Amino acid sequence: MIDPIRSPQAPWLTPLARPEAPAKAPVNPADAFSPSQGGSVTKVQQQPPPASPYPRPMTDEEKGDFKSWFPALDVDTARVTHEATPRYNCISWTTGNTESWDWPPSMYGGDPVEAFTQYYTERGFTPVTAEEAAAIGKDKELVAYWEDPNGPTHGSVSGPIHGERWESKCGQAAQITHGRDELESDVYGKIAGYWLKTGEGTKIVREIPVEAQQRLDTKLALRVLTVDPKVARSFEQAYGDWQAERKSPRMAMSSNPKDYLKGEGYDKMKALGKEALPLWMAKMREGDFFCQYAVQELTRPDEDAFQIKGPNPQPELKPKEVRCSEQDKANQVMVQWLDSQW
């Protein structure tokens, strides 16, 4: 089916581009030859760059997962353009960012729809109507914003670097091409609006300073050793269960961090209480930014606890600024932990 907006050429009519033969390297002693022990020159064989594996057809397993949640998706025509990864999600990908997980409602607070408006506005996008979107050529970056009855769910993108079809990074699942409306389902709802790239945006990055990273690793190594071995074993087993639960299609295709804070494994980890806090921090240090929400909950002050009234109250670990990615917020929490009593 040809997309009614931006009418792309049918993918089966588009021949796959053959990689061009690599250009011959110039005969230049500085980059094409190296001296041998005998004083003569030995030619160094120049290897062509490896061919990209993308786009590729979906595997049978991927077809089953995607078709089960997106009944309208033509899984035989869809192509995978990047493997599954939690490093970035659909929203960050619509702005060309593959380095962070962005979810506007957790960045700006307030009304979720207004949060998306602020997010795209700050990144150089302007809202357009469906009629205006239909007249926009493929030389422009166009974002489709999705909603279900509960609010925002997803973002897909079309433009010069995305081929002839629309493209979506589905939560932490694979990045795929699809027809404009083929992801319409109970999972993502349907398209509720469009955003056009019209200017340059700003990117907020809060990395942990090198000196702080060294201190963090030292403190973590010491604190993890203080955890009861039984607690540590229980935590690791529950964490493995949580990881498996997060790979289920329904959870893996979501970009909302709160959708990942559930499951039997996650509940077992939280039930271990504050003693397991160093283990949560260690997982965050390894890159699992979803752990920050459990850390915030575990360190939330208890109004009836004595330490709140004492001279050295335990601080709640949470990001002071939230207008940034999930990774950046997790970094803020880890830096706060360095100087806390936890």
Mean pLDDT value of segment 336-340: 90
- List the alpha helices (DSSP H) in the chain: 60-69, 90-94, 104-108, 112-122, 130-134, 210-225, 229-246, 249-252, 264-271, 277-285, 292-298, 306-309, 326-338
Contacts of residue 247, defined as CB under 8 A and 6 or more positions apart, other chains included, come to none
Name the pLDDT band for 342 (thresholds 50, 70, 90). confident
Tell whether 84 and 139 lie within a shared domain: yes
Residue 203 within any structural domain of the chain:
no
State the pLDDT at residue 3: 52
Q: What is the pLDDT of residues 315-336, one digit of tens each?
A: 788 898 888 999 999 999 999 9
Tell whether 222 and 171 lie within a shared domain: no
Residue 43 within any structural domain of the chain:
no
Residue 40 within any structural domain of the chain:
no
Tell whether 78 and 189 lie within a shared domain: yes
Residue 310 within any structural domain of the chain:
yes
Tell whether 170 and 292 lie within a shared domain: no
Last residue of a domain, one of 136, 164, 197: 197
Looking at the chain, the whole-number percentage of residues with pLDDT higher than 90 is 70
Q: What is the pLDDT of residues 116-128, one digit of tens each?
A: 999 999 999 999 9
Tell whether 85 and 109 lie within a shared domain: yes
How many domains would you assign to the chain? 2
Residue 33 within any structural domain of the chain:
no
**Which residues form the domain of 304?**
210-338
Tell whether 131 and 251 lie within a shared domain: no
State the pLDDT at residue 135: 94
Tell whether 111 and 175 lie within a shared domain: yes
Q: How many CA atoms lie within 13 A of 137 on its CB side?
A: 1
Nearest to residue 241, comparing CAs of 257, 224, 220, 262?
262
Residue 34 within any structural domain of the chain:
no
Tokens standing for residue 60: 């049978």
State the pLDDT at residue 34: 36
Q: Which of 43-57, 148-162, 184-198, 244-258 has the lowest mean pLDDT?
A: 43-57
Tell whether 87 and 221 lie within a shared domain: no
Residue 255 within any structural domain of the chain:
yes
Tell whether 143 and 272 lie within a shared domain: no
Tell whether 166 and 214 lie within a shared domain: no
Last residue of a domain, one of 170, 197, 224: 197
Q: What is the pLDDT of residues 207-231, one digit of tens each?
A: 889 999 999 999 999 999 999 999 9
Tell whether 179 and 315 lie within a shared domain: no
Tell whether 331 and 246 lie within a shared domain: yes
- H helix or E strand, kind and range, residue 193: strand 190-197
Residue 292 within any structural domain of the chain:
yes
Last residue of a domain, one of 155, 175, 197: 197
State the pLDDT at residue 45: 67
**Sign of torsion, CA 187 193 198 204?**
negative
